[in-house]
Amino acid sequence: MTVDTEPTPGPGSATVQVRAQLSLSTTAARNLATTTKSKPQMQEITSRWLLRVLPWVQVSAGTYRVNRRLSYAAGRGRVGFAKAGSTVTVIAPSLAELPALRGFEDQEVLAELARRFVQRDFAPGDVLVREGAPIEEVFLIAHGKVDRIGTGKYGEETVLGTLADGDHVGDEVITEPGGSWPYTVRAGTAGVAMALNAAGLQELVDRSAPLREQLLGFAADAAQAQNAHGEAEIDLSAGHQGEYELPGAFVDYELEPREYELSVAQTVLKVHTRVADLYSKPMNQTEEQLRLTIEALRERQEYEMINNPEFGLLHNADFDQRIQTHSGAPTPDDLDELLSMRRDTDFLFAHPKAIAAFERECTKRGIDPGTVDVLGKRRPVWRGVPILTCDKIPVAANRTTSFLALRVGEDDQGVVGLTQVGIPDEVEPGLNVRFMGINEQALSSYLVSAYFSAAVLVPDALGILENVEVSRPFN
């Protein structure tokens, strides 16, 4: 049956025709239909490349000890600074990051030493020191970038390295007075340096017996036979003839090697028994809750392995394995320098924005970095090394981030992941789910735990390209 209605024609009026419904509407039909459902989705899930490509070592005792050859070379840490308006001061305890002061604990002496540093502002292009001049000051870079400029074979200028916030130069004045600068130090950006002259340092050394003993001890360690990496030398002989008396040798080890304890990420999942009993078809509610909870734990695990101050990769890279970008944006030259710092690099990790910035620089130069297959996915590659995304590497408020270069595996003295497989109630390697009971509100509780850590076996297994700018330039 069809019913037509036509309103009385008039100015601006229109004719409307209404037909009676001839069949069941889809809206009503849905009340009798069974819908097809997806599993619960979760935007937080990422590719988690670090967890996928890192070799995992079974840590049965819960602790992993990294034994190394004895090293006399003190690490080069970074000094901290405090800023009040335009005035910058040195944070005294952080002076123990200077090689000659490593392990020095006399806070009064460090405080006095910090007060003797004088602030010097610099502009782009300013020369802090010139090659060949006497080393009479030690400089701490509080802010900005400076380049170490050397002289090439044919007299041209060459950039030997870049120093940035927290780095220092000229600390030879502490242990090798009377030397001369082997390079020029020139500012690449505006910034602030803190300077300490040799006379002020010597006056404090003469008054402080603990400081004097510290410097003498450092000089004694430096005088020990050591290789280019600062490790205790193994005395060898080669190229001799006849009955040459061979030198005796032994390999000395660190007396206090570092130990990594397994860390844990945990949560308690609660599911109401009524939900689990009545609403578990066609999908088991408890299983889906656990699945998404485990995904969130794995995301937190990767975050901790990058950012944890105790064992995270960003905090455990040796300071000699950290370099700065030449111009801010990550260029092929920067990645080449990063790769050159180790005998082998298996993977590069970076935030997606940093990878995009690197590819923009390649496009500017007309370079195609290419791609490579990694676990069935096509990924960018540079010099044969895959570049994998990791959104856990932070992008700072000033739009800077980092590239990580890793050599992986125990056999290659690289970076390894640590876990323990075979724990009670295990549902995935190193992750278990333990039922905790039902409370008076009829809530079932499940303790979900993931056990993990990461270890860097030798310093050059991990390198970082710092202060990578990801902002797109305004054209």
The predicted model gives 450-469 an average pLDDT of: 93
Residue 184 or 171, more confident: 184
Q: What pLDDT, on the 0 to 100 scale, is given for residue 358?
A: 96
Tokens of 92: 């005294």
**Roughly what angle, to the nearest 10 degrees, separates helices 107-115 and 198-207?**
150
The pLDDT tens digits of the residues spanning 231-263 come to 555 555 565 566 556 555 545 556 778 899 999
Q: What pLDDT, on the 0 to 100 scale, is given for residue 94?
A: 84
Instruction: Report which listed range, 216-225, 251-260, 325-334, is most confident.
Output: 325-334
Residue 144 CB neighbours (<10 A)? 19
Are 457 and 416 spatial neighbours (Cβ–Cβ below 8 Å)? yes
DSSP string, 165-231: TT-EE-THHHHSTT-B-SSEEEESS-EEEEEEEHHHHHHHHHH-HHHHHHHHHHHHHHHS-B-TTSB
Q: What pLDDT, on the 0 to 100 scale, is given for residue 1?
A: 46
39 pLDDT exceeds 80?
Answer: yes
Chain mean pLDDT for the chain? 84
193 pLDDT exceeds 50?
Answer: yes
Residue 124 to residue 170: CA distance in whole angstroms:
20
Residue 429 to residue 418: CA distance in whole angstroms:
11
How many residues are given for the chain?
475
Closest to 225 in 3D by CA, of 245, 249, 246: 249
Written as one letter, the residue type at 301 is Q
CA 401-402-408 angle, to 5 degrees, is 150
State residue 24 phi and psi, 5-degree precision.
Answer: -65, 135
Q: What pLDDT, on the 0 to 100 scale, is given for residue 431?
A: 96
103 pLDDT exceeds 80?
Answer: no
53 pLDDT exceeds 60?
Answer: yes
> 3-state DSSP call for residue 416?
strand
Which strands, in side-by-side order, build the sheet including 146-151? 127-129, 184-187, 146-151, 157-163
275 pLDDT exceeds 70?
Answer: yes
The predicted model gives 458-471 an average pLDDT of: 91
Q: What pLDDT, on the 0 to 100 scale, is given for residue 209?
A: 84
228 pLDDT exceeds 60?
Answer: no
The pLDDT tens digits of the residues spanning 408-457 come to 999 999 999 999 999 999 999 999 999 999 999 999 999 999 999 999 99
On the CB side of 102, how many CA atoms lie within 13 Å of its CA? 15
Residues above pLDDT 90, as percent of the chain: 44
Q: Which of 148-152, 173-177, 254-258, 343-347 has the lowest mean pLDDT?
A: 173-177
The pLDDT tens digits of the residues spanning 59-86 come to 998 999 988 765 444 445 678 888 777 7
154-155-159-165 Cα dihedral, nearest 10 degrees: 160
Residue 90 to residue 115: CA distance in whole angstroms:
8
Q: What pLDDT, on the 0 to 100 scale, is given for residue 74?
A: 45
Alpha-carbon distance values, 203 to 89, 177, 310, 372, 408 (Å) = 20, 14, 37, 60, 48
